[in-house]
Amino acid sequence: MTASTQVKLKPGDTIGILGGGQLGRMLAMAAARLGLRCQVFSPDPDSPAFDVVMNATCAEYADVEALELFAGDVDVITYEFENVPAAAAMILAARRPVLPDRQILETTQDRLAEKDFVKRLGIGTADYADVTSAAGLRAAIARIGLPAVIKTRRFGYDGKGQAIIRDGDDPDRVWADLSTRSAILEAFIPFEREVSMIAARSADGHVECFDVTENEHRDHILKISRAPADISDALAAQARDIAESIASALNYVGVLAVEMFVVAGAGGPTLLVNEIAPRVHNSGHWTLDGASISQFEQHIRAIAGWPLGKPVRHGEVTMTNLIGDEINSYEQWLTVPGATVHLYGKGPPRPGRKMGHVTQVGTLPPKTT
């Protein structure tokens, strides 16, 4: 069942969400505001999204019976993470519309397939090579040069499963440390800045974009997003065109994020696509408090078959992630004038774990790095 155009939810209908993290939680909260219910499917009993929905399915993605029961309980199914197992997506899609279409996962779960897809659209990426062995890595380095970034093709996030290779590094050791059989090598891009475009596409092909967001990472994890990005209108228009052509080529329904590098060029800065996330994205969290419509609401509207909103930004917006122990400062943040605090209700604050975020509208604090 793929006919996304058939989906037209009514208030009171139920959306199934695969994945129980903070993205699922914020999707469910946005759905609730529109009178829609959500049922969350997650194997983790401590899923933060379980706390905000009436009905939850706590089961493994390989549990066919649980998947079938879940599908029976909901009207449309979406996901908050791109690593939904293909077999689970297939079982669900046979019973209910899955939006965005599950085939999109095949492209976005695999960095090589994703880069090939972006390249076929004529959109720039870092130079890259498929690597399946230490010898292959040497050959790829000979072609692409150093520094370069090696990334596992699958399951990488927040910088996990990747390493920078510099002159003098031993490729055999790098390959052994990565402990994978399939990776890509990318040219290291000396970018001016990193930006992302959060775009929504409805089943009838209409696309609405948020303002381009500028992202600052710390230890490979997003720390601060600022909107709008400090780029020219012309470059922002290019970012919109890129997101729109990716969304259209995928026949996408829902919100997607496109991460891009801004690189200096002789004729002015240009954009290279780094990654596509087929879901709401951390760099779009500012839209919850900083725009008339959030990325979460846009996604819910798109998959419900409802009209997309035209998001209007309320001012200059900064979103600061509370990572690991930083969550302990939540009481201080609660007293900062103008700050809106979001806590995800997660368990222990392990290093690198995204625990919450703070939005500030109308002020742009100085850069932290």
Q: State which residue, 186 or 297, has the beta carbon closest to ligand ADP.
A: 186
The verdict on whether residue 82 carries a ligand-binding annotation is no
Q: Are 355 and 322 in contact (CB under 8 A)?
A: yes
Return the one option of Mg ion, ligand ADP, none that residue 250 interacts with (CB less than 5 to 8 A, by type).
none
Binding string, 182-221, against ligand ADP, x = CB under 6 A? ----x-xx----x----------------------x--x-
Phi-psi region of 30 (alpha: psi -120 to 50; beta: other; left: phi over 0): alpha
Of 184, 284, 186, 277, nearest in space to 227 by CA: 284
**What residues between 34 and 53 interact with ligand ADP by CB under 6 A?**
none
Q: Are 159 and 149 in contact (CB under 8 A)?
A: no
Do β-strands 270-277 and 254-263 pair in parallel, antiparallel, or remain unpaired? antiparallel
Q: State which residue, 259 or 289, has the beta carbon closest to Mg ion.
A: 259
Q: Which of 76, 98, 137, 149 binds ligand ADP (CB under 6 A)?
A: 149
Binding string, 255-274, against ligand ADP, x = CB under 6 A? ----x--------------x
CA distance 217 to 160: 13
CA distance 251 to 238: 20
Binding string, 230-269, against Mg ion, x = CB under 5 A? -----------------------------x----------
Q: How many residues bind ligand ADP (CB under 6 A)?
A: 15
CA distance 308 to 254: 10
CA distance 99 to 320: 29
Q: Is the peptide bond before 45 cis (omega within 30 degrees of 0)?
A: no
Strand partners, 77: 16, 98
According to the binding rule CB under 6 A, does residue 345 interact with ligand ADP? no
The verdict on whether residue 189 carries a ligand-binding annotation is yes
Q: Which of 68, 73, 106, 158 binds ligand ADP (CB under 6 A)?
A: 158
Task: Specify the stretch interacting with ligand ADP by CB under 6 A; choose among 69-77, 83-91, 152-160, 227-235.
Answer: 152-160
Cβ–Cβ contacts within 10 Å for residue 277, how many? 21
Smallest distance, Mg ion to C-beta of residue 247, A:
18
Q: Which of 275, 291, 327, 355 binds Mg ion (CB under 5 A)?
A: 275
Q: Return all residues near 265 (Cβ < 8 A) that are at least 6 apart.
A: none
Q: Are 362 and 338 in contact (CB under 8 A)?
A: yes
| Phi, psi (rounded to 5 degrees) for 148 | -145, 165
The verdict on whether residue 12 carries a ligand-binding annotation is no
Smallest distance, Mg ion to C-beta of residue 156, A:
8
Binding site for Mg ion (CB under 5 A): 259, 275
Binding positions for ATP: 111, 151, 156-162, 186-189, 194, 217, 274-275
Binding site for ligand ADP (CB under 6 A): 126, 149, 156-159, 186, 188-189, 194, 217, 220, 259, 274-275
